[in-house]
Chains A and B, each alone.
Chain A
Amino acid sequence: MRTAVLSDPLDFDGWRKAARRLRLAGVEPDRVKFVVGASLGGLFDVDAALPEVEGAFTAPRAFLDMAAQLIQHRSEDRFELMYRLLWRLKDQPNLMAVLSDRDVAEAADRVKAVRRAAHKMKAFVRFRQAQDEAGERWVAWFEPAHRVLQATAPFFARRFSAMRWSILTPDGAAHWDGTLLTFGPPADQSQAPAEDAVEDFWRTYYASTFNPARLRPQAMRSEMPKRYWKNLPEAGLIPELTAAASVRTDAMVNQPAPTPNDRFQRVRAPVVDRAATDDLIADSLDELARGVQGCHRCPLWRDTTQGVCGEGPRRAALMVVGEQPGDQEDLAGRPFVGPAGRLLDAAFEEAGLDRRDLYLTNAVKHFKHEPRGKRRLHKTPNAGEVEACRWWLDHERSLVKPRLILALGATAGLAVLGRKPAVQTERSRVLTTEDGARVLLTVHPSYLLRLPDPALRAEERSRFLADLTVARHAL
């Protein structure tokens, strides 16, 4: 049996040196023991007992990272487990990735416990205010589940950098003076202040934020284990709060309906007008926009942000009708502000049209879509939805009375012409409807956006521009 002596429980360098020599010397894991402290007088010191063996080997990063945390675990045999892994890496260089391996799984469990202890230290340290000759100082007494003080203290330095603080533990103490982090010998509780005036406020908060109707003490204990309670100022309230919970809940459940308090009635906010505006006959574009907001003519309103009404001058000569608002339009409440809108704006400019002179609207005023994770996928509105929404489009047409309507795509064509058009064959020339309206049909700009082939896209774009130019000349 070989025994290696380490200087302290976190002596990673000492372990590393010893383990390297042991592995080079071919000492199998079940013949190695690591002990902490010099009490054995170095008699079994690996340095003394082992011959120097020439050579070197490397250990994977994943192992070193794991070992640096594993050493903080309070188990006695952690050094042996670390050595066993190091030994096995010789023949199985991928061992650390085999999480189903018994040793790797065991090490992973302990590392998890160490990380949890570090996390709980970040959570459960409670500073108390003290004064010394240099002024305000903050001191905490804490008992970590594993030896996580040194690895966790930098967190407190980053967080409380403008405070002078000390964290005292049975394993050692950490001190921060505003610029430098230092470590001292193990401390005891009497060195920390016994109280802090703000703790009464904290306990008040703790008791008030607790909802007795949701009592689940088991869930609390699994996240805030009892071992931490003795150093938590709020934990003293737990028995009392738990005991009184069911009485308080019963009182709430069984209370008679109270008399409403009318003391503040005169400041009460007005009730929202929710009447559906499905049949509103608007005299102005503003009124029409209000009507669209309260429209329940079809169910599309339900999952949208808002109805998106048309915008533009009341007496615009050209009315441009698209399909429906998209994702961006739904959020912003304005038509043609998304990708298709940007393409359209550029095309208008090239065709010599000014967006500010045009009335832009859509066949359908609410965004039809399907949620897919963090996005919404466009869905084409059906004939029923187009028909329901014609109420508003017809209103817009009669208020604006444009000389020409430019219908973008099949849905707009359906809404304007009252029949499903064949866009590619009917486009590019002015059609006259039964009621005498002049309509020019072309593709929707999103069609251009979807074309994958750049050459085809360029070609279709120039056809689209030509249609816009036809529209300009037809005004």
Chain B
Amino acid sequence: MAQIDLRRKLAVLADAAKYDASCASSGTTKRNSLGGRGIGSTEGMGICHAYTPDGRCISLLKILLTNFCIYDCAYCINRVSSNVERARFTVQEVVDLTLAFYKRNYIEGLFLSSGVIRNGDYTMEQLVEVARRLREDHDFRGYIHLKLIPEADPRLVELAGLYADRLSANIELPRDEALGRLAPEKDARTIRKAMGQVRLKLEEAKPEKRDRKRPPAFAPAGQSTQLIVGADGAPDTEIMARSAALYGGYGLRRVYYSAFSPIPDGSSLLPPTKPPLMREHRLYQADWLMRFYSFTAPEIGEGTDDGMLDLAVDPKLAWALRRREAFPVDVNRAARETLLRVPGLGVKAVDRILSVRRHRTLRLEDVGRLTRSIEAVRPWITALDWTPGGLTDAVDLRARLAPQRKPKQLSLF
């Protein structure tokens, strides 16, 4: 194969990596480069350095080391039977690109993944070597996210965790059976075992109070995974149940949902359609309800029809519309967890309400200043000068609260 120039490689290998939705650069240890030989810092909150016209942020240089791959996953642009242009970076090229971009303040760090070449161990060794050079040769203190090759030797996973802030292995499809059909060379059991191993390592790395010596660091930003939505016919309730099992089992920081997107040279197994962006959005909302609002997957399921989330209204509102007997809630007395269940009240608004009501009894107008949209909240609460009366039980409440546009248009095309 003819040698292609570095910019062409970058184009090919960025294009090949862009279907992974994960871009976070937050949640790792706080550190900076003062007193060091190199550059880089992480200060808790991640930073999005640019946004592309798809509305997604660029936080990390997200690339593959190579898009050659020995697997044939139908949903993937890099599958072995795809006609896509192939390229491969050298380890040093990735190191140099990362530093060149970082110095110009384009990125927070590197997200490196790869097609599997030769075998899992060989591929993982290459990924780890990039991270090692950045950390050890260049004293780079920015963010590094490494993709785990689940088949790789546990020793390599340990090394990866030593250099990387975050590790991730993608579970890809909510149903094991679908993985068998669409990704015949991938084994869901191997992926889950790799995630289980990472969780055990993460727990080992947490220092016990009585430990004098801190155990060696392991992926301080934890692990995440991705589920592809809309490729295998799994309903939303099944996806949420899978997510809940993943959060519970592997201590994941995040589950990413990626609407299956048409790719150039797509497989005949998965006829191309436009990606279900609104469905993806609702799944993210449901995921937030599970992580920050103490909803369980079955509770969110109460607001679904045939296992699918309502595309026209958000999942909390969909749930509340079917649980009207739980409302209205008194903003001046209700407990935090009860307020969190009020449609239109986010975590911040609830915390503000709790802070203010220590000093004042809230009127509707006060609540209006603490939240984004009082219209959305009004039917569900009582305040000093407000009671919703029959509004909570109004037959047309859903229609009043749903955005005026039709769900079809909301697919954002």
Contacts and interface: CB of A to CB of B under 8 A. Distances in A.
B266 A255 contact: yes
A208 B15 contact: yes
Interface string A109-138: 000000000010011111111000000001
B124 interface: no
B208 interface: no
A218 B369 CA distance: 26
Which of B33, B45, B193, B248 is packed against the most chain A CB atoms within 10 Å?
B248
List the 7 shortest-distance A-B pairs measured between CB atoms, nearest first: A219-B55, A371-B248, A216-B55, A100-B366, A257-B268, A158-B32, A331-B196
A36 interface: no
Contacts of A241: 52-53
A269 interface: yes
Interface stretch (B56-64, B333-341, B389-397): B56-64
A99 B18 contact: no
A266 to B, nearest CB: 10
Contacts of B146: none
B62 A209 contact: yes
Interface stretch (B75-83, B224-232, B316-324): B75-83
Contacts of A123: 47-50
Interface in B43-101: 43, 45, 47-58, 61-62, 68, 70-72, 80-83, 97, 100-101
Which of A138, A253, A268 is packed against the most chain B CB atoms within 10 Å?
A268
Contacts of A304: 192
Contact-residue size bin, chain B (C-beta under 8 Å from the other chain):
35 or more
A267 interface: yes
24 contacts: A94-B359, A100-B362, A126-B104, A160-B103, A162-B38, A163-B39, A198-B104, A205-B14, A206-B52, A208-B12, A211-B56, A214-B56, A220-B52, A223-B55, A241-B53, A261-B82, A265-B81, A271-B185, A302-B176, A327-B249, A331-B249, A371-B248, A371-B249, A373-B294
Interface string B174-212: 001000100011110100110111011000000000000
B29 interface: no
A267 B86 CA distance: 15
Contacts of B50: 123-124, 206, 224, 232, 234
A213 B52 CA distance: 12
B247 interface: yes
Contacts of A209: 14-15, 17-18, 52, 58, 62
Given A162-B38, A217-B53, A331-B197, A264 B249 contact: no
B399 interface: no
Given A216-B412, A268-B70, A331-B199, A163 B103 contact: yes
A127 B356 contact: no
Contacts of B45: 119
A258 B265 contact: yes
Interface in A257-285: 257-262, 264-265, 267-272, 274
A140 B80 CA distance: 44
Given A208-B18, A269-B70, A159 B40 contact: yes
A8 B70 CA distance: 64
A201 B7 contact: yes
Contacts of A261: 80-83
Contacts of B40: 159
B39 A211 contact: no
A455 interface: no
Contacts of A100: 352, 356, 360, 362, 365-367, 369-370
Contacts of A260: 81-82
Interface of B: 6-7, 10-12, 14-15, 17-19, 32-41, 43, 45, 47-58, 61-62, 68, 70-72, 80-83, 97, 100-101, 103-106, 116, 176, 180, 184-187, 189, 192-193, 195-197, 199-200, 241, 244-245, 247-249, 251, 259, 261-268, 272-275, 277, 294, 296-297, 352, 355-356, 358-360, 362, 365-367, 369-370, 412-413
Interface of A: 94, 97-100, 102, 105, 119, 122-129, 138, 140, 155, 157-163, 196, 198-202, 204-220, 223-224, 232, 234, 238, 241-242, 245, 249, 252-253, 255, 257-262, 264-265, 267-272, 274, 293, 302-306, 327-328, 330-333, 369, 371-376
Nearest to A159: B41
Given A234-B50, A327-B249, 16 more contacts: A94-B359, A158-B34, A162-B37, A198-B100, A199-B104, A209-B14, A210-B53, A214-B412, A223-B57, A232-B50, A238-B53, A257-B268, A269-B185, A272-B185, A274-B187, A306-B193
Given A211-B56, A216-B55, A374-B247, A272 B104 contact: no
A129 B101 CA distance: 12
A287 to B, nearest CB: 17
Contacts of A374: 247-248, 251
Given A210-B54, A214-B54, A223-B51, A274 B180 contact: yes
Contacts of B14: 204-205, 208-209
B403 to A, nearest CB: 14
A152 to B, nearest CB: 12
A252 B272 contact: yes
Given A100-B362, A162-B33, A330 B49 contact: no
Which of B50, B365, B370 is packed against the most chain A CB atoms within 10 Å?
B50
Contacts of B265: 255, 258
Contacts of A271: 184-185
A163 B180 CA distance: 51
Contacts of A208: 10-12, 14-15, 18
Contacts of B370: 99-100
Contacts of B245: 303, 371
Contacts of B116: 269
B249 to A, nearest CB: 6
A304 B12 CA distance: 37
Given A99-B352, A216-B412, A372-B248, A211 B19 contact: yes
Contacts of A333: 193, 196
B53 A293 contact: no
